[in-house]
Amino acid sequence: MPNRIKKIGVLTSGGDAPGMNAAVRSVVRTCAYHGVECVGVYRGYQGMIEGDFKPMDARSVRGIINKGGTILKSARSKEFRTKEGREKAFKNIVKEGIDGLVVIGGDGSFTGALVFNKEYDFPVMGIPGTIDNDIFGTTHTLGFDTALNTVVDAIDKIRDTASSHNRLFFIEVMGRDVGHIALNTGIAGGAEEILIPEEDLGLERLKESLNKSRTSGKTSSIVVVAEGDKIGKNIFELKEYVDENMEGYDVRVSVLGHMQRGGAPSCFDRVLASRMGVKAVESLLDGETNYMVGLLDNKMELTPLENAIKGKTKINLELLRVSDIMST
């Protein structure tokens, strides 16, 4: 393959996700395999602005494939949103001799990479890292599978106590504007109802569903709620509604929060990260730029960054139907 790129920088930006370290490892070792230097950029775009770089080789990333979070750290950079900030970043990476960049993050990180490329014609390649799975151009983002396993484990434990005390639990999971985590974990965890932003269930239907569950003989219930669900202002408002409108329910709320973003990545996420890192580096070496690496039909494919940013992921309608049947 043509190899005009001699040194590649890698950074993680935005929210952390399990599998980011595995992706960093893959980028570094793919560079080593092809005889290309690799530089870690610490604290995302802010690190570019401040020149926070560290050379990385194959041995420097040993023992990190199983670790959550990101060894390169992550930070949001208001300064990088300014032309002056991006100019500082460009001067620093040119001084460092970096001539290609792999950005591991979500749509905000990709937007920064796209603007940077347009201003300086600098080769960039994106790897999607976010547990929300809300990036267009890939069926799975890094961290999504691990987050699902973390949530299901929590639901299983909560169900034990719900059954013991005949309680109704509202469990809030992450998913700012999408319900991928809620829908999948709700089915896997045997939830009686799943509330997601894409489907406006409405309070009356929620009431009907809970009454139906009680009539059928269920003495405890689990309702999984995506944080972006539009029924109530928040999950505590749902609790208040049930308390005020439905007798006989002992309602509890559990917000899983940032525990969903931590922990060792699953086997799936480790393999996915390894595949994405190889594809990202080899695509840069082939002269490609302004793309995101994604998993489509179990193959590594490239999606233009602009499409990845502007495109909308769709909820799986089959899973919606399955969830309705399973809650019978």
Catalytic residue list: 132
Phi, psi of 278 (to 5 degrees): -60, -45
Phi, psi of 132 (to 5 degrees): -75, -20
Rg for the chain (alpha carbons), in Å?
Answer: 22
Give the C-alpha separation, 55 to 148, whole Å. 34
186: Cα separation from own chain's centroid: 18
Helix, strand, coil % over all residues of the chain, rounded to 5: 45, 20, 35
Instruction: Report which of 44, 53, 60, 43 is spatially closest to residue 94, judged by C-alpha positions.
Output: 53
14: Cα separation from own chain's centroid: 10
Phi, psi of 13 (to 5 degrees): -140, 155
Whether the Cβ atoms of residue 308 and residue 125 lie closer than 8 Å to each other: no
Whether the Cβ atoms of residue 143 and residue 110 lie closer than 8 Å to each other: no
Q: How many CB atoms lie within 10 A of CB 50?
A: 16
Degrees (nearest 5) of the Cα angle 9, 14, 175? 140
- Where b means 16+ CB within 10 Å and e means fewer, 230-259 reads ebbeebeebbebbeeeeeebebebbbbeee
- Sign of the alpha-carbon torsion through 259, 221, 203, 314: positive
Whether the Cβ atoms of residue 184 and residue 178 lie closer than 8 Å to each other: no
Give the C-alpha separation, 21 to 17, whole Å. 9
Joined tokens for residue 223? 């309702």
